[in-house]
Amino acid sequence: MASKELEENLSELQIGGNGEKKPVENDMPEGEVKVSCFTEDLQDVTLHFQIVKFSKQIYAWIGCNSAKLGHLYAAATTRPNNNVSVTSLLGGTSDNTGSSIARRIVLKTGLNVVVACNIPKDSPMLEATAERKLIERLASLRYFSPKEKHRN
């Protein structure tokens, strides 16, 4: 599917519990899902993004020049120290391109994250750029948890 067609069909829609499509709003009642798709042309490649926001979880897909799923990673905070744990759900462990992105998104948002990524493993600059674009969009959609003020 062409990126223009993706943007026209899926860009910034919200699906309610009864399946009806509604414009995106900042407040998200429980049981609703927000979907955001966008495309970035950079470094002679096209990056496609899809973000699906559930009430307590984010699914993000990053596609490089194609609509392949790529490796799939899940990340969440774990007790007792609120460290972030990441595991590979699909794909091998030799290519950890998406695992670091998933870890940092959990740290930024405080939400559980599933990341699918098919960025080539020998492209660290492309990975960093894709992560930056994804974080920028997450921030513009207000998916970041508020920063707690540290007491002295």
**In tens digits, what is the pLDDT along the chain, a chain of 152 residues?**
444 554 454 444 444 444 444 444 445 566 788 999 999 988 688 999 999 999 889 999 999 888 888 889 999 998 888 899 999 888 766 667 788 999 999 998 889 999 999 888 888 899 999 999 999 999 988 887 545 443 33
d(CA 28, CA 102): 22
According to DSSP, residue 19 is labeled: S
In the numeric block, the tokens 């799939």 are attached to: 72
Spatial contact of 115 and 142, defined as CB atoms under 8 Å apart = no
Spatial contact of 74 and 102, defined as CB atoms under 8 Å apart = yes
* Side-chain half-sphere CA neighbours of 134 within 13 A: 31
Residues 6+ apart with CB under 8 A from 91: 70, 71, 72
d(CA 151, CA 119): 40
d(CA 36, CA 6): 10
pLDDT of residue 24: 41
d(CA 76, CA 123): 25
